[in-house]
Amino acid sequence: MRLTPPSLIVFIVSLALFVVAVLPMLGVAIPSIGVSTVHLLIGSWAVLAAGVLFKGI
């Protein structure tokens, strides 16, 4: 299996999910997000992993 670098859009989406997940850990409350921080971190990792594993994403 050949790994490819993720596209810029996939990287930015993954980075945005990561930042939103880390903000509550730094003390910034985001009340409109009803998802656990762990779920956001896992989602961020999954998006980035999909971008690396599948060509064209």
Q: Give per-residue pLDDT as tens, 15-45.
A: 999 999 999 888 888 888 778 889 999 999 9
pLDDT of residue 50: 93
21 within a domain of the structure (yes/no): yes
Tokens of 4: 């490819």
Structure tokens at 38: 């762990």
pLDDT greater than 90 at residue 1: no
Is there a domain that residue 33 lies in?
Answer: yes
Question: Could you list the residue range(s) of the whole structural domain that residue 33 is in?
Answer: 8-53
Look at the pTM and tell me if it is higher than 0.85: no
In a domain, 48, yes or no: yes
Residue 2 lies in a domain: no
Q: Scanning the structure block, which residue is given the tokens 């930015």?
A: 12
Q: Which residue has the tokens 């945005």?
A: 16
Tokens of 16: 């945005």
- Total count of domains within the chain: 1
User: pLDDT value at position 42?
Assistant: 94
Angle of CA points 40, 43, 47, to nearest 5°? 140
Does residue 35 form part of some domain? yes
Residue 42, classed as helix, strand or coil, is helix
pLDDT of residue 33: 77
DSSP 14: H
